Amino acid sequence: MRNPRRADFPLLAANPELHYLDSAATSQKPRVVLDAMRDYYERDNANPHRGAYDLSVRATERYHDARATIARFLGVADPDCLLFTRGTTESLNLVATAWGYANINAGDEIIVTALEHHANFVPWQQLAFARGARFVVCPLTSDERVDLDALRALVSSRTKVVAFSHVSNAVGTVNPVQEMAAIARAVGALVVCDGAQGAPHLRVGFDALDVDFYAFSGHKMCGPMGIGGLIGRRDILEAMPPYQFGGDMIEFVRDDHSTWNVLPHKFEAGTPNVADAVGLAAACTYLDGIGMDDVLAHERALTALATERLSHIEGIRVYGPPPAGRSGVVSFTMSDIHPHDLATILDQNGVCIRAGHHCAQPLMRRLGVSATARASFYVYSDERDVDALVLALDKARVLFAEPATSR
Ligand code: PLP
């Protein structure tokens, strides 16, 4: 039997034989999200914050309510500390640029981990280069967890930022955020957490995490593309200069100087993306209805099942810690078959996986591979997806075992 939750997702409901195992790249969207966005455009659409007429007031309220819903879902007591952005990439660039250029100087150190997505690696690397700071990459254990002893040894009074992911997109490692934050805090460093793979899959509880910034993307958590956010501590956000300038983010503009609006507007220049915020809020309500503990438990069960079944296929190597330390990601290689070839064969069997470096080239280099194949699960995945994955991989193994001339 297929997962009954598939019926909530129009694309999956229309394609019963599709095995969508690329949710770490982007999730499918439930009908409630699509309906919420349509409803906003059909009933309440206007430019918010600007008009004195009722329709604009309604649009402003929808935007405000969406922020409150998303903040509640992510465990943020003060919704004004949740800034809307285009997604994790923009959020991390915002911190690295606005906070970074005001606070990083020659001789300082910035630490990231070898697990990072390029979005949480390159902005810090480039900031360090521009400011004459040292850029340090914290090593991993042999099963792709952050080496906490190494992190303890690396931090010093020169360390100004420690940036790390909540969950690795490439191998699925769930990092011990509070423990890592405590190591960074001990030397007074800013703690930045890339939550692109955290917010969709586990209970975030920002206020209890003890990080300074948390970045996330709506499209990976059942929401629309083009919206995400950055949660920050109020005192830091208030002290930080704006990232972009324009409408909505100003208080007064004079010929000789300008002053800035209050949070969150100071960091949201230009016409806001109201419909996508409304859609993301509906996604949070949908996930809340399932319960994030159940979301993670469901993914972990499928991850454990897939990992176990893949272990019986000749030539497969799965990366990352055991399933209990991962989210819904199974990243693997198969003998000397290129992951792109595997993905093509799987696609011919209705199985969508991702193959490549997963925007984590520093990690791939450390694994000694140029790419892996990655199957990733979400709330709508089921055992039949695992069956289809295993069957298709078995076909690939047989196909590539044949001499090239008979293919
Ligand atoms: N960080 C991680 C861990 C990711 O998985 C991703 C996307 O795959 C990003 C950052 C970038 O997210 P976006 O492309 O939505 O900005």
Asked whether residue 26 is assigned to any structural domain, the reply reads no
Asked whether residue 272 is assigned to any structural domain, the reply reads yes
Domain span holding position 70: 33-288
Q: How far apart are CA 404 and CA 265, in angstroms?
A: 61
Bridging pattern class, strands 372-376 and 109-113: unpaired
Instruction: Report whether residue 197 contacts ligand 1, using a CB cutoff of 6 Å.
Output: yes
Judge whether 36 and 66 are in contact, CB under 8 Å: no
- Cβ contacts of residue 13 below 8 Å, gap of 6+? 6, 7
Domain identity same for 307 and 273: no
Judge whether 68 and 203 are in contact, CB under 8 Å: no
Domain identity same for 284 and 314: no
Q: How far apart are CA 323 and CA 94, in angstroms?
A: 33
Looking at ligand 1, which residue's alpha carbon is closest to its atom 14? 89
To test the ligand 1 pocket, which listed residue (122, 174, 201, 217) has its Cβ within 8 A of the most ligand atoms? Answer: 217
The answer to whether residue 406 scores a pLDDT higher than 60 is no
Active site residues: 359
Tokens of 12: 């999956």
Last-in-domain residue among 268, 288, 308? 288
Domain identity same for 253 and 160: yes
User: pLDDT band for position 407 (50/70/90)?
Assistant: low
Q: How far apart are CA 200 and CA 30, in angstroms?
A: 14
Domains: count for the chain = 2
Domain identity same for 187 and 231: yes
Q: How far apart are CA 9 and CA 15, in angstroms?
A: 10
- Cβ contacts of residue 319 below 8 Å, gap of 6+? 144, 170, 171, 331, 332, 333, 367, 372
pLDDT for res 405 = 58
CATH number where 336 lies: 3.90.1150.10
Residue type, 142: S
Domain identity same for 60 and 169: yes
Instruction: Report whether residue 374 contacts ligand 1, using a CB cutoff of 6 Å.
Output: no
Domain identity same for 298 and 255: no
pLDDT, averaged across the chain: 96
To test the ligand 1 pocket, which listed residue (89, 175, 230) has its Cβ within 8 A of the most ligand atoms? Answer: 89
Per residue in 41-97, pLDDT (tens digit) is 999 999 998 778 999 999 999 999 999 999 999 999 999 999 999 999 999 999 999
Segment 374-391 mean pLDDT: 98
Segment 138-142 mean pLDDT: 97
Coil, helix or strand at residue 240: coil
**Atom nearest to 119 CA in ligand 1:** 10
User: pLDDT band for position 181 (50/70/90)?
Assistant: very high
Tokens of 328: 């819904």
Per residue in 86-104, pLDDT (tens digit) is 999 999 999 999 999 999 9
**Atom nearest to 26 CA in ligand 1:** 8
Domain identity same for 298 and 227: no
C-alpha distances in angstroms, 217 versus 92, 123, 295? 11, 17, 17
Centre of ligand 1 from the C-alpha of residue 108, in Å: 26
pLDDT for res 375 = 98
Bridging pattern class, strands 134-138 and 354-356: unpaired
Tokens of 102: 């005001």
Instruction: Report whether residue 144 contacts ligand 1, using a CB cutoff of 6 Å.
Output: no
Instruction: Report whether residue 329 contacts ligand 1, using a CB cutoff of 6 Å.
Output: no
Bridging pattern class, strands 329-334 and 316-318: antiparallel
pLDDT for res 404 = 56
Instruction: Report whether residue 89 contacts ligand 1, using a CB cutoff of 6 Å.
Output: yes
